[in-house]
Amino acid sequence: MDRRPGLSVRVKLALSYAGFLMVAGSLLLAAVWVFLLRYVPEVIQGPGPFIPNRSD
């Protein structure tokens, strides 16, 4: 019995999982980037506890 032409179900599932992981990863990176631009201060403070800024 021959199978129909085209991609198999296994390949379709693998591609859909890979696509989902790429979209989820890019959304996570975008969220972190927006958080860093919006909420991390740009000024460097004097001595005291370490507080990260945008250049870190």
Sign of CA dihedral 28, 30, 33, 38: negative
- In whole angstroms, what separates CA 20 from the centre of its chain? 11
The average pLDDT across 12-31 equals 96
pLDDT at 54: 63
* 19, pLDDT greater than 90: yes
Cα torsion 5, 9, 13, 18: sign: negative
Q: Are 54 and 40 in contact (CB under 8 A)?
A: yes
Residue 42 — very low, low, confident or very high, per pLDDT cuts 50/70/90? low
Q: Which of the four pLDDT bands, split at 50, 70 and 90, describes residue 1?
A: low
Is the pLDDT at 24 greater than 80? The verdict is yes
